[in-house]
């Protein structure tokens, strides 16, 4: 079998050399060309038709985001972005994922052998996914128009004293080793439904599509696990908040759940839901061991919903590699969850997590991405009589 053909794009000669060497340590990949800016990348992608592209973001003449947008419009090709770990790098990376990039890795430092080894492992793993991804032209997802009342948060979070935090929440704080922050102290608005969503590769774009389809007065909290490092989940939540009618935040320890709000699990922390001593439903964050290699884990979130039988539970599993969430979404279905949805193969960037859920019989509904939000609105709002 011929090696998969890879195009490397970076304005640094040194970095092009490092990335090329790392890629070609796996005999399944061969770098067929390099490009020093986005303009060259667009031309070489059209001429060479590589199986995948690695793309830097900051480059002269044409940056990686503009090049990515042109590639996806003219010659849809799997692209892996090289991102810095800075906050600005995270913002740009989230934008790249919206434009159709398959995934991202952090740029190697080039100085520490252990760092290069970790980057090489991740790069090979993501390339193996990328070269097998069937790319289609990426239609632009139009964001929902945000109601004026959501331009500014209606009620900023207040940091309570340790004595004010319910006992169960204080215990969770000890587990994470972090002080509680961003905790709502006002009475939680009533809700009877709870939605939980799990996703991985291809998830940011899928989340944008689903959340932008929910109305501002959606009568349930939405809990989200997206496999992503710290900083990037913060940028993801801010970006989604700007684009969607529902409010979107990065979850914080002991935060009170409210309807019409989506909570994104912070990178590097498990997120679960607990019913605290004050009878409010709160976020609990934990640095406990990864589950199936993931922290945050979809399985961990879904499992925390099992004891909450007094709520009407709805679970969704979308595009992503592996099987995280597939087992516990099945447990939720057996436990009486009202809705379990798996994204269908036709719209998944990677048909992994949803495929396992479907094969296990865990999904009541197997839906293309565009139908997931309408189904959630139908299942949650109809019986509430709110719409």
Residues designated as active site: 200, 227, 324
Is residue 3 within 8 Å of 27, Cβ to Cβ?
yes
Pairing, β 365-367 against β 339-343: parallel
Pairing, β 281-286 against β 270-275: antiparallel
201-284-196 Cα angle (round to 5): 45
For residues 303 and 316, what is the distance between their CA atoms, to the nearest angstrom? 13
Instruction: Write the CA distances from 326 to 139, 223, 295, 361, integer angstroms.
Output: 28, 16, 16, 10
For residues 202 and 123, what is the distance between their CA atoms, to the nearest angstrom? 16
Q: What are phi and psi of 215, to 5 degrees?
A: -75, 160
Give the CA dihedral 329, 332, 333, 336, nearest 10 degrees: -160
Spell out the residues 6+ positions from residue 10 whose beta carbon is closer than 8 angstroms to its own. 16, 19, 34, 36, 54, 56, 59, 82
325-369-350 Cα angle (round to 5): 55
Q: Is 114 helix (H, G, I), strand (E, B) or coil?
A: helix
* Token pair 């019409």: residue: 260
Q: Give the residue among 346, 339, 343, 351 at the shortest CA–CA distance from 371.
A: 343
For residues 280 and 274, what is the distance between their CA atoms, to the nearest angstrom? 8
Q: Give the residue among 253, 372, 370, 359 at the shortest CA–CA distance from 314.
A: 372
For residues 102 and 349, what is the distance between their CA atoms, to the nearest angstrom? 7
């Amino acid at each position: 079998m011929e090696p998969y053909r890879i195009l490397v794009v970076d304005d640094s000669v040194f970095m092009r050399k490092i990335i090329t060497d790392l890629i070609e340590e796996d005999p399944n990949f061969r770098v067929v060309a390099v490009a020093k800016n986005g303009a060259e990348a667009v031309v070489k992608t059209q001429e060479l038709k590589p199986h995948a592209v690695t793309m830097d973001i900051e480059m002269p003449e044409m940056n990686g985001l503009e090049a990515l947008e042109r590639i996806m419009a003219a010659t849809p090709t799997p692209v892996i972005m090289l991102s810095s770990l800075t906050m600005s790098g995270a913002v740009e990376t989230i934008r790249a994922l919206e434009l159709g990039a398959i995934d991202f890795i952090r740029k190697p430092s080039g100085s520490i052998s252990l760092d290069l080894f970790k980057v090489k492992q991740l790069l090979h793993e993501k390339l193996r996914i990328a070269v097998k991804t069937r790319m289609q032209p990426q239609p632009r997802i139009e964001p929902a128009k945000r109601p004026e009342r959501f331009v500014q948060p209606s009620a900023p979070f207040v940091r309570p004293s340790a004595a004010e935090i319910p006992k169960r929440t204080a215990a969770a704080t000890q587990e994470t080793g972090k002080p509680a922050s961003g905790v709502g102290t006002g009475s939680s608005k009533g809700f009877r439904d709870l939605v939980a969503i799990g996703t991985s590769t291809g998830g940011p774009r899928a989340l944008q599509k689903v959340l932008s389809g929910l109305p501002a007065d959606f009568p349930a909290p939405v809990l989200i696990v997206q496999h992503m490092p710290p900083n990037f989940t913060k940028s993801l939540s801010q970006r989604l908040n700007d684009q969607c009618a529902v409010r979107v935040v990065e979850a914080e320890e002991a935060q009170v759940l409210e309807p019409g709000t989506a909570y994104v699990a912070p990178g590097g922390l498990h997120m679960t839901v607990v019913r605290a001593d004050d009878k409010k439903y709160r976020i609990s964050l934990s640095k406990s061991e990864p589950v199936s290699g993931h922290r945050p884990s979809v399985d961990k979130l879904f499992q925390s919903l099992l004891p909450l039988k007094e709520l009407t539970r709805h679970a969704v599993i979308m595009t992503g590699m592996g099987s995280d969430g597939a087992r516990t979404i099945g447990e939720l279905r057996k436990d009486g969850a009202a809705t379990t949805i798996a994204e269908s193969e036709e719209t998944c960037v990677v048909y992994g997590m949803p495929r396992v859920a479907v094969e296990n019989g865990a999904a009541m509904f197997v839906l293309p991405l565009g139908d997931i939000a309408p189904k959630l609105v139908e299942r949650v709002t109809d019986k509430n009589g709110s719409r």
